[in-house]
């Protein structure tokens, strides 16, 4: 098996990378709060435990054309 084979989990991990604090560059593991803005938009509020800096990020989720109705 080639070392260049990309698995689905590899792709997901790249999409779900954790942010670093923009002030001190410490890695943040979980948002302090998350807000469901719409069907495809989530906003996360972050608070750095190291330096106390607070900021938010927005995530737009794309589901492609593979959605099926449940009727």
The string of pLDDT tens digits covering residues 7-62 is 555 555 555 678 899 999 999 999 999 999 998 899 999 999 999 999 999 988 87
CA dihedral sign of residues 25, 31, 37, 42: positive
> CA-to-CA distance for 9 and 6, rounded, in angstroms?
8
Taking the domains of the chain in order of start, what are their residue ranges? 21-60
Beta strands in the chain (DSSP E): 33-38, 41-47, 54-60
**pLDDT above 80: residue 67:** no
- pTM as predicted: 0.61
69 falls in which pLDDT band (50, 70, 90)?
Answer: very low
Structure tokens at 60: 């737009």
């Amino acid at each position: 098996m080639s070392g260049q084979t990309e698995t689905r989990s590899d792709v997901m991990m790249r999409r779900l990378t954790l942010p670093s604090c923009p002030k001190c560059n410490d890695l943040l593991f979980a948002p302090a709060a998350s807000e469901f803005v719409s069907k495809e938009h989530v906003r996360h509020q972050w608070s750095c435990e190291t330096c106390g800096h607070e900021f938010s990020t927005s995530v737009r989720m794309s589901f492609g054309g593979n959605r099926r109705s449940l009727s």
